Amino acid sequence: MNIDKVTLHDLSIFHSEEDQSIFHKLNQTRTSLGRDWLHRFFKEPFDNVSAIEQQQQILQHLTKFLDDWPQQISNGTIMVMVRFFDAQLEPIPPAHSFLGGLRYKLMASPDFATVRYSMGHFADFVRGFLRLIELLRATQLPKPLQQLLDRAAGLLNETTIRALGAHLSGTSFTLQEVVGFGHFIFYRYKQQVHELLQLFGKLDAWYGMAKAAVVFNLQYPKVIDTSTPVLEARQLYHLLLPQPVAYDIDLNKQHNFLFLTGANMAGKSTFIRSIGAAIYLAHLGMGVPAASMTCSLFEGILSNINVTDNIARGESFFFNEVQRIRNTILKINDGNKWLVLIDELFKGTNIKDAMKCSLAVIEGLVKMRQSIFVLSTHLYEIGEELRNHQNIQFSYFETEIEDDQLVFNYHLRPGISNDRIGYLILKREKVLELLDKL
C-alpha cells in the first residue's frame, strides 16, 4: 500500500506526542525489540489480500494464548543479552573445568560476575522461548508463524543451549557452567543469538498487535480485492478519542464520493481521520475500531488535511494546497483504487476564488469511479451545483444552538449543512463587545 509522510502525519499514525499517536496507543509489546518490529510492521502495510488474511490469522491464533504467554523473557533480559556481546571481557577460557572457572574468577573477577549474571538471563530466554514454541504449536498454525517457530526450534536444538535452558531458574551456576556456557555463547553462538532475538522480536510484535485487539475491542475487517471500490463500516470511531461517537459508512462505485459539510468543531476532521486510520490498520492485518468493516484492497491513501505554507521556500499556503491536489490527481489517475481524504479544500484563498477552485476540482474528481473520496468543506453553496452527480453522497454534521450556545452532538445527517455560526461565535466570545468599546 502506498502512503506518504504527509498522510501518515495527517492520520496521526506516528506522532512525537504519544497521546496523539495511533502507533503508541496500540503498542502492547513487551520488549524494545518487539516495539521495533511493530514499528516496522506499521511502516509496511500489505498490498495483497493473502498477506492481510495471513496476518489476521496469526493475530487471531495468538489471541488464544495471551494469558498464558511466558513471563521469563522481559525487556531487561533482552538488554542484558544484547550488551553481553559488546562487553569488553577478558577472554573466557575454552577449558570447561572447575579449575578453568576458578582461575577465571580469581584473575578476572568483574568479568566472571558479568558472564555469570548474563548466563542467568540467557537461560531465562531459552526457557521462555522453548515454552512459547511448545505453547503455540498446540494447533495448526498459519504458515508464517509456523516457519518462525520451526526456525527458532532449530536454533535452540543445540546440546549446550538445551543444557542451559534445563538449568533450574533461581539456582546458581557452578564455576564450570559459567565458563562453559559463557565461552560457547560468546564465541560460537553469537550469530544464532542475534537471529533468535529478531525472531522473538517479531513474535512479540504479533503479540502486541493481538493484545491491542483485545484491549481496545478491535474487530478484524474483511478486505476484498474487487475491481471497484468498497467501504462499508458499522459503528466506526476514532481510536484516540476518550469518548468517541461511532458512525456507519457505505461507499461504493455508485456512491464513491462523500461531500461532507458542517460547522468548524462539529466533527468533520475527526470523522475523516477515523476513516483513513481504519483503512490503514486494515492493510496492516490488524483489527479496526468498528463493530464491523468490509473494504477494498486499496492501492494507497492520500490526504490533504494539514497543509502548511513553506516560508523557507517562499511557498504560500494556497500554492502548497494546489501542489498537493496536483500530485494527488497524478497518482490516482492510474486506474487503481485509492482512498482520498480532503479536509477543507482551498483554505488559503478568498471565498469566491475558493468556491471556483473547489468546484472545478470536485467536478474533475467525481469522474474517477475507481477511487473513494471523502471531502469536507465550509463552502456549502457549491453543494447545490453538485447535486446532478449521482455518485456524490451528501452528509453533514449537525450543530444546535441553545441560549446562544453551540451544542455539537456529532450526529451525521444526510444532506448539506446550512449552519452559519461564525457571527454567533464572535458574539459568544465577546469579540463584538470588545469592538464596541474601541
pLDDT tens profile 91-143 = 998 867 788 788 888 988 999 999 999 999 999 999 999 999 999 987 789 99
The C-alpha cell at 311 is 516560508
How far apart CA 89 and CA 93 sit, in angstroms, is 11
pLDDT tens profile 139-150 = 789 999 999 999
* Residues with Cβ within 8 Å of residue 397, at least 6 apart in sequence: 260, 261, 262, 263, 266, 267, 268, 271, 408, 410, 411, 412, 413, 417
How far apart CA 88 and CA 103 sit, in angstroms, is 18
How far apart CA 141 and CA 248 sit, in angstroms, is 34
pTM of the model: 0.91
Torsion of CA 124, 181, 184, 82, to 10 degrees: 40
**pLDDT at position 116, please?**
94
CATH class of the structural domain 222-436 = alpha beta
How far apart CA 306 and CA 9 sit, in angstroms, is 8
The C-alpha cell at 242 is 476518550
Over residues 299-308, the mean pLDDT reads 84
**pLDDT at position 402, please?**
67
Over residues 150-170, the mean pLDDT reads 94
Residue 153 above 90 pLDDT?
yes
Q: Tell me 418's DSSP state.
A: -
Q: Which helix (H) or strand (E) holds 190?
A: helix 190-215
Would you kindly state where each structural domain of the chain is located, as residue ranges? 31-215, 222-436
β-bridge pairing 300-304 and 338-343: parallel
Q: Is 396 helix (H, G, I), strand (E, B) or coil?
A: strand
Residue 220 above 80 pLDDT?
yes
How far apart CA 158 and CA 6 sit, in angstroms, is 48
Residue with cell 494539514: 306
Contact (CB, 8 A) for 108 and 90:
yes
* pLDDT band at 427; cut points 50, 70, 90: low
Q: Is 263 helix (H, G, I), strand (E, B) or coil?
A: coil
Over residues 61-87, the mean pLDDT reads 94
